[in-house]
């Protein structure tokens, strides 16, 4: 299939591009578009055949339901049998924005969208281009993240192109996504709303509105808990290289682990703050082993703030699939604010290979501690 690539310029020509994109969606095709979180793969959310094309393009398992995107608060009404007070309070506080609400679904929502569940996920994105596209379509737009299933979600149009060229009708380029992580998913059908996926609307922000919020225990990655968001059970975001996440005190061992892995002849990728990257560049142990010619040390700093980390994380993870180090060491961060969402994505990317220090002893949550960490 030929895939159009249309750049949005924030000028008069955009209207024409939007009309062409909307016409494709109305004709049952799939179009990738920007949102403030990540890029989405949009299709007419009330048309099962169109929705099936999304699953085919992504290679997504059928039991993983999609989010319906709307561009006006009142457009949620036909999609649900009713909204409770919690759902209404969250819509009022955070829509449009990076919050997806799971609500009881109405008859008009196809099973292909909800994967046979009695509920449906709905989001009103804040991104202006997303809103214009949805309005031009005149229907709810079903849209998962625009990546091949399992890969990190794309946060720029080039990354969408890499995964979706030849598989969808068009890609709209609206620049970089501001937030960089997928929306917070909250199940509002429980008496106490439950965070199924952390995101840009933080636990603290939800608490302020609701007074009480649960977090799906499956997010800790412990065996025995089945996540309530089907998508959260799949291997996700993982680069092809083995990745270890250093949490808490273990993050203090980063320089030593880097030096010892280099010593073993490994090409080492490091995901860390700019300040940590500076310190590694100045560390004598690391310097002695790093070889500029063979590029055995790939320092990829994400900046200083948690917001910068969120915005850059998926791009940097995808970049490791281009540079292919032998091992990736990632520095953990605190779980306040968007840190909870960042750590959730980093843990999944690492396949829950989480290194920590408990009672003075080095521990690995999932698997065997690699030899270079034991020197």
Stretch that binds ligand TXA, among 112-120, 237-245, 290-298, 322-330 (CB under 6 A): 112-120
Residues that bind Mg ion (CB under 5 A): 145
Residue 46 touches which member of ligand TXA, Mg ion, none, C-beta under 5-8 Å by kind:
none
Give the separation between CA 317 and CA 152, rounded to whole angstroms: 7
Q: Does 139 bind ligand TXA (CB under 6 A)?
A: no
- Residue choice 232, 242, 246, 272 for contact with ligand TXA (CB under 6 A): 232
Using CB under 6 A as the binding rule, whether residue 114 contacts ligand TXA is answered as: yes
Residue at shortest CB range from ligand TXA: 231
Which parts of 188-317 are beta strand (E)? 194-197, 214-215, 242-246, 268-272, 297-301
230 in contact with ligand TXA (CB under 6 A) = yes
Nearer to ligand TXA, 104 or 321 (CB): 104
- 54: three-class secondary structure by DSSP: helix
Q: Which stretch binds ligand TXA (CB under 6 A): 30-38, 70-78, 250-258, 274-282?
A: 30-38
Interaction of residue 229 with ligand TXA, rule CB under 6 A: yes
Q: How many residues bind ligand TXA (CB under 6 A)?
A: 30
Regarding 149 and contact with ligand TXA (CB under 6 A), the answer is: no
Cis peptide before 96 (omega within 30 of 0): yes
Q: How far is the CB of 184 from ligand TXA (least distance, A)?
A: 8
134 binding ligand TXA? (CB under 6 A): no
Instruction: Write the CB contacts of 45 (distance below 8 Å, at least 6 apart in sequence).
Output: 51, 66, 68, 69, 109, 110, 113, 139, 140, 141, 142
Binding residues for ligand TXA restricted to 249-268, rule: CB under 6 A: none
* Closest CB 318 distance from ligand TXA, rounded Å: 15
What single string gives the DSSP state of each residue in 17-42? HHHHHHHHHHTT--EEE--SSS-EEE
Q: Which of 17, 22, 46, 102 binds ligand TXA (CB under 6 A)?
A: 102
Radius of gyration of the chain (CA): 21
Cα 37 from Cα 201, distance rounded (Å): 11
Of the candidates 350, 370, 368, the residue with the CA atom closest to the CA atom of residue 240: 350
* Secondary structure (3-state) at 351: coil
143 near ligand TXA (CB under 6 A): yes
145 lines the binding site for ligand TXA (CB under 6 A): yes
Could you tell me the smallest distance in angstroms from the CB atom of residue 38 to Mg ion?
8
Of the candidates 153, 174, 84, the residue with the CA atom closest to the CA atom of residue 344: 153
Q: What are phi and psi of 330, to 5 degrees?
A: -115, 140
Choose the one of Mg ion, ligand TXA, none that binds residue 66, judging by a C-beta under 5 to 8 angstroms depending on kind.
ligand TXA
Binding flag, residue 67, ligand TXA (CB under 6 A): yes
Query: Which residues, in sequence order, are bridge partners of residue 363?
Result: 356
* Residues 6 or more apart in contact with residue 124 via CB below 8 angstroms: 69, 70, 71, 72, 73, 76, 91, 95, 96, 97
100 lies in the binding site for ligand TXA (CB under 6 A):
yes
The contact pattern for ligand TXA, residues 342-361, with x = CB under 6 A and - = no contact, is --------------------
Residues between 151 and 190 with contacts to ligand TXA, criterion CB under 6 A = 182-183, 185
Q: Kindly tell me which residue out of 21, 35, 327, 355 binds ligand TXA, with binding defined by CB under 6 A.
A: 35
Q: How far apart are CA 367 and CA 356, in angstroms?
A: 13
- Distance CA(43)–CA(22), nearest Å, equals 9
Q: Which of 171, 134, 178, 133 is closest to 155 using CA atoms?
A: 178
Query: For residues 145 and 202, which CB has a smaller minimum distance to Mg ion in the complex?
Result: 145
The residues that touch ligand TXA, with contacts defined as CB under 6 A, are 35, 37-38, 40, 64-67, 100, 102, 114, 117, 119-121, 123, 125, 143-145, 182-183, 185, 196-197, 228-232
């Amino acid at each position: 299939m030929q895939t159009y690539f249309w750049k949005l310029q924030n000028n008069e020509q955009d209207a024409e591009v939007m009309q062409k994109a909307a016409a494709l969606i109305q004709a049952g095709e799939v179009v990738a578009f920007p949102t403030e979180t990540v890029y989405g793969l949009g299709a007419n959310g009330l048309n099962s055949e169109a929705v099936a094309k999304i699953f085919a393009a992504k290679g997504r398992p059928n039991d993983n339901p999609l989010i319906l995107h709307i561009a006006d608060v009142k457009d949620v009404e036909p999609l649900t049998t009713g909204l409770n007070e919690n759902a209404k309070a969250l819509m009022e506080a955070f829509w449009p924005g990076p919050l997806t609400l799971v609500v009881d679904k109405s008859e008009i929502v196809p099973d292909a969208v909800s994967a046979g569940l009695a509920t449906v996920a709905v989001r009103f994105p804040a991104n202006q281009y997303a809103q214009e596209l949805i309005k031009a379509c005149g229907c709810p737009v079903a849209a998962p993240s625009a990546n091949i299933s399992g890969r990190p979600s794309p946060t720029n149009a080039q990354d969408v192109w890499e995964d979706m060229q030849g598989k969808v009708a068009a890609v709209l380029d609206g620049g970089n996504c501001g937030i960089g992580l997928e929306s917070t998913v909250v199940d509002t059908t429980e008496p106490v709303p439950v965070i199924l996926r952390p995101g840009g609307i933080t636990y603290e922000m939800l608490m302020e509105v609701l007074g009480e919020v649960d977090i799906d225990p499956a997010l800790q990655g412990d065996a025995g808990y089945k996540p309530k968001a089907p998508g959260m059970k799949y291997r996700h975001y993982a680069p092809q290289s083995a990745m270890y996440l250093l949490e808490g005190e273990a993050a203090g061992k980063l320089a030593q682990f880097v030096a010892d892995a280099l010593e073993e002849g490994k090409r080492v990728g490091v995901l860390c703050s700019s300040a940590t990257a500076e310190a590694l560049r100045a560390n004598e142990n690391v310097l002695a082993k790093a070889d500029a010619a063979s590029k055995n040390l790939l320092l990829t700093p994400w900046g200083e703030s948690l917001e910068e980390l969120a915005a850059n994380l998926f791009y940097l993870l995808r970049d490791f699939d281009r540079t292919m180090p032998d091992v990736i060491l990632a520095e953990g961060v605190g779980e306040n604010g968007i840190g909870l969402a960042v750590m959730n994505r980093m843990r999944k990317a690492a396949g829950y290979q989480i290194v920590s220090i408990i009672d003075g002893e080095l521990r690995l949550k999932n698997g065997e501690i690699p030899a270079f960490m034991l020197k």
